[in-house]
A and B are shown apart, each in its own frame.
Chain A
């Protein structure tokens, strides 16, 4: 008796979103659960953006600093190295220095560095604030205006800032990463609000908020799965957007990426451990429905690319 392979039918589809100035990268378009290629399409492979900080990072473990040691004090050189040496498909510029609880640098400075980085690379650029509504509102708005026509991806666009940043994105032609705290209903609600504001459906990505492996990853994993289920099998139009996971900063701040092998011999080699923690976090998010990953370590990125190749190649 032949085994009957059970397939399911889908009635929804993820939107295709073009990123970058020249629509250099397209994400979305899935008509099936992540990598269920035997019953649907996934016309675009997931994309990996590489992290670049706008100021020299503090408290990064040596294992993740090493690949960028020569460029960490220069965001432009850093972004170029990611693209030229590591083949980054996108760059995620993290405007960490603007944090009022940190260096509190000016919006003007953020604009300056964003313009320089955008000019130096030929891949789509994500520009990420510090999740401080007062500051992000000003910074992201000014960045949007100064980089008119660049089609940046601006985030995190939380409910507190969506009006200001959304309006600026419409006016100056950018894409939005709509950010909500690990909740499918809030994610949907914000997408509705953005639509009401007039943000085009071709300009929205969903950031359901992510955390690292070992530190609550399961919450984000299930929210992503639920978003995909609703989008693909319940025709929930306001959830049919590609998902972005700004995850590297979560992984590389956990204790287990910072402890050396001497600190805890059972945890093994610190560099390899960090790389695998990052790659595994990324992989699980891919399996749950992520389209754009923000990652850091070149070796972790390579592992994820190889895995995606293996998974997507019918052999």
Chain B
């Protein structure tokens, strides 16, 4: 439970020495209470104060890791209800479900798609993160075998799913070194599952019948010394699951309720019978607070939109996304192809390159470093001026790539033509359209 400023003040030395950088202990306590300062700034704090405050100053939703090595997945650590308040931090893990009663073909197909469906975008690699392995048959050998197979075949984290501690133990033995997530503890089996989580050093998912039961279970498990928990309120309708996600996030952030201060796990795979519907439900959990999202299948047509949703919602609003400056070849341009310049605001880059591509006129696109600002803003701020654009063109050696000396600048930056002409000796500056939608028509008319 979080402490108030006054409660914290009582734990401090109350000497008003100012060594923490704040004039009084009370003011420092107030800053601590709202998370604006860290206790480490006070060199005189007692051990007792440190222990008590550690709890109060921990992030409201516990960050944890699933898996190991390069493909480790970080979830949790969220601090806000709405992304514009600061940012969402760790994007939810996307998992595909395989079970030990599935045909070999079904399993192999899912693992194959899990491994191969990967997309590059503005320097990010978008892909699914986890494979959830469910014990359905009740046969220990089958569950073990499937766990072994998945472990061997995939690059990514693993979720082991069974209510039966003996089955879980068998699978844990197989893939303990991958640090799988154990799913999970229920009211009935929690002691055994807790033991396994400790023994194998794994995170433990906890499933309640509802939020009341869930918060009871996590409180008990926490008392038992388990820290890395993932929670499931048991809701399997869209309406109830949405409500529970909101309640959990609010409970953790607004009320500092530690019993729900954990990443959640959601199961769209149990909420629809059609992959399109299911994936749409999954994107709701991207927007509304899912920590891990389990799907029954991944197909290019379904996973790609979902990964875009995740990328968009988890983009840090405090930092504009920027494309890397450079020279981009679109449609295999040659020495006679048009040369266009634009800014490196990622949105502008996407739209302009999309329109150039749509024109089917092979072109060179030069992306100038405008620190992620759009053309108009960058121009107003002097970052899309004649010299900056000229320097970029020289730096990227466009003159060596084309025979002509013509460059198309954005219509909104028409004012820089004069400066650019001076900067680039002998080049003809062409003013292109203001709106990217008019680029295809413009390029089709372009004469080298």
Residues in chain A within 8 A of chain B (CB atoms): 1-6, 8, 35-38, 59, 101-102, 211, 213-219, 221-222, 225-226, 229, 253-256, 258, 261, 265-270, 272-273, 275-277, 279-280, 283-284, 287-288, 303-304, 306-307, 310-315
Known: A214-B312, A267-B301, A268-B304. A4 touches B255 (CB 8 A): yes
Is the CB of B215 closer than 8 A to any CB of chain A? yes
Looking across the interface, which residue of chain A has its beta carbon closest to that of B350? A215
Contacts of B239 in A (CB 8 A): 37, 310-315
Which single member of A102, A276, A314 contacts B301 (CB below 8 Å)? A276
Q: Which residues of B contact A312 (CB under 8 A)?
A: 239
- In the complex, A288→B83 CA distance in Å? 11
Verify B243–A276 contact, CB threshold 8 A: no
Q: Is B311 an interface residue (CB 8 A)?
A: yes
Closest chain B residue to A282, Cβ basis: B280
Q: Does B138 contact A (CB under 8 A)?
A: no
Given contacts A222-B84, A225-B82, A287-B287, contact A3 B259 (CB under 8 A): yes
CB atoms of B212 and A2 under 8 A apart: yes
A275 to B280, CA, bound (A): 11
The minimal Cβ–Cβ distance linking B186 to chain A, given in whole angstroms, is 17
- Beta-carbon contacts under 8 Å, B378-412 to A: none
> In the complex where A6-B251, A266-B117 touch, is A1 in contact with B438 (Cβ < 8 A)?
no
Kindly identify which residue among B250, B255, B300, B357 contacts A265, using a CB–CB cutoff of 8 Å.
B300
Residue on B nearest A38 in the bound complex, by CB: B243
Interface string of B77-108 (1 = CB under 8 A from A): 00000111000000000000000000000000
- In chain B, residues 103-121, which have Cβ atoms closer than 8 Å to a Cβ of chain A? 116-119, 121
Bound-state CA distance A33–B315 (Å) is 22
Q: Which of B116, B118, B277, B288 has the most CB of A within 10 A?
A: B277
What is the distance, in angstroms, from B213's C-beta to the closest C-beta of chain A? 9
Nearest chain A residue, comparing its CB with the CB of B304: A267
Cα(A279)–Cα(B301), bound, Å: 12
Minimum C-beta distance from B350 to chain A (A): 5
Closest to A270 in B: B301
Candidates B117, B259, B281; contact of A310 at CB < 8 Å: B281
In the bound complex, residues from chain B placing their C-beta under 8 Å from that of A268 are 299-304
In the assembled complex, 27 residue pairs joining A and B whose CB atoms fall closer than 8 Å, in A order, are A1-B259, A3-B212, A4-B251, A6-B255, A35-B242, A36-B246, A37-B239, A101-B435, A213-B305, A214-B121, A215-B347, A215-B350, A216-B346, A216-B350, A218-B313, A225-B83, A254-B354, A266-B119, A267-B301, A268-B300, A276-B302, A280-B305, A280-B306, A303-B280, A310-B238, A314-B240, A315-B237
Chain B nearest CB: distance from A313 CB in Å? 6
Given A266-B300, A269-B299, the answer on whether A59 and B358 have CB atoms closer than 8 Å is yes
Point out the residues of chain B lying under 8 angstroms from A1, CB to CB: 212, 215-216, 219, 259
What CA separation (Å) do A36 and B300 show in the bound complex? 32
B-side contacts of A5, CB under 8 Å: 211, 247, 251
With a CB–CB cut-off of 8 A, which chain A residues contact B58?
A: none
Task: Provide the bound-state CA to CA distance between A273 and B304, in Å.
Answer: 8
Least Cβ–Cβ distance between B295 and chain A, in angstroms? 13
- A287-B305 contact in complex given A3-B211, A229-B82, C-beta closer than 8 Å: no
Chain A residues with Cβ below 8 Å from B305 are 213-214, 273, 276-277, 280
Given contacts A101-B433, A284-B283, contact A6 B254 (CB under 8 A): yes
User: Is B317 in the interface zone, CB < 8 Å from A?
Assistant: yes
Chain A nearest CB: distance from B347 CB in Å?
A: 4
| A272/B276 in contact, CB under 8 A | yes
In the bound complex, what is the Cα–Cα distance between A306 and B211 (angstroms)? Answer: 26
Residues of A within 8 A of B357 (CB): 255
**A276 and B84 contacting across the interface, CB-CB below 8 Å:** no
Shortest Cβ distance from B269 into chain A, in angstroms?
15
Q: Find chain A residues with CB under 8 A from B281 CB.
A: 307, 310
Q: Is the interface of A mostly helix, strand, loop or mixed?
A: helix
Say yes or no: is B162 at the interface (Cβ < 8 Å to chain A): no
* CB neighbours of A279 from chain B (8 A): 276, 280
The answer to whether residues A213 and B251 also contact, given A268-B302, A303-B276 and a CB cut-off of 8 A, is: no
- Establish whether residues A311 and B242, one from each chain, have CB atoms under 8 Å apart when the complex forms: yes
Known: A315-B237, A315-B239. A215 touches B287 (CB 8 A): no
Of chain A, the residue at the smallest CB distance from B84 is A222
Question: What is the bound-complex CA distance between A102 and B437, given in angstroms?
Answer: 11
When the two chains form their complex, are residues A311 and B288 in contact, meaning their CB atoms are under 8 A apart? no
CB-CB under 8 A from A253, the residues of chain B are: 354, 358, 437
Q: Are B280 and A307 in contact (CB under 8 A)?
A: yes
A-contacting residues, B163-219, CB 8 Å: 211-212, 214-216, 219
Contact in complex: A6, B247 (CB < 8 Å) = yes
- In the assembled complex, the Cα of A288 lies from the Cα of B433 at a distance in Å of 33
Question: Are A214 and B308 within 8 A (Cβ)?
Answer: yes
Taking CB as reference atom, which chain B residue is nearest A314?
B239
A contact residues around B211 at 8 Å (CB):
3, 5
Question: How long is the Cα–Cα vector from A67 to B158 in the complex, in angstroms?
Answer: 42
Known interface pairs A267-B304, A311-B239. Does A280 touch B309 (Cβ–Cβ under 8 Å)?
yes
Chain A residues near B304 (CB, 8 Å)?
A: 256, 266-268, 273
Contact of B276 with A275 in the complex, beta carbons under 8 Å: yes
Cα of A120 to Cα of B364 in the assembled complex, Å: 48
CB A88 to nearest CB in B, in angstroms, measures 20
A303 to B350, CA, bound (A): 27
- Nearest-neighbour CB distance to chain A for B435, whole angstroms, equals 8
Residue contact A266 to B116, C-beta cutoff 8 Å: yes
Check A255 against B354 for contact (C-beta < 8 Å).
Answer: yes
Q: 4 closest Cβ contacts across the A-B interface?
A: A268-B300, A268-B301, A310-B238, A273-B301
User: Is B54 in the interface zone, CB < 8 Å from A?
Assistant: no
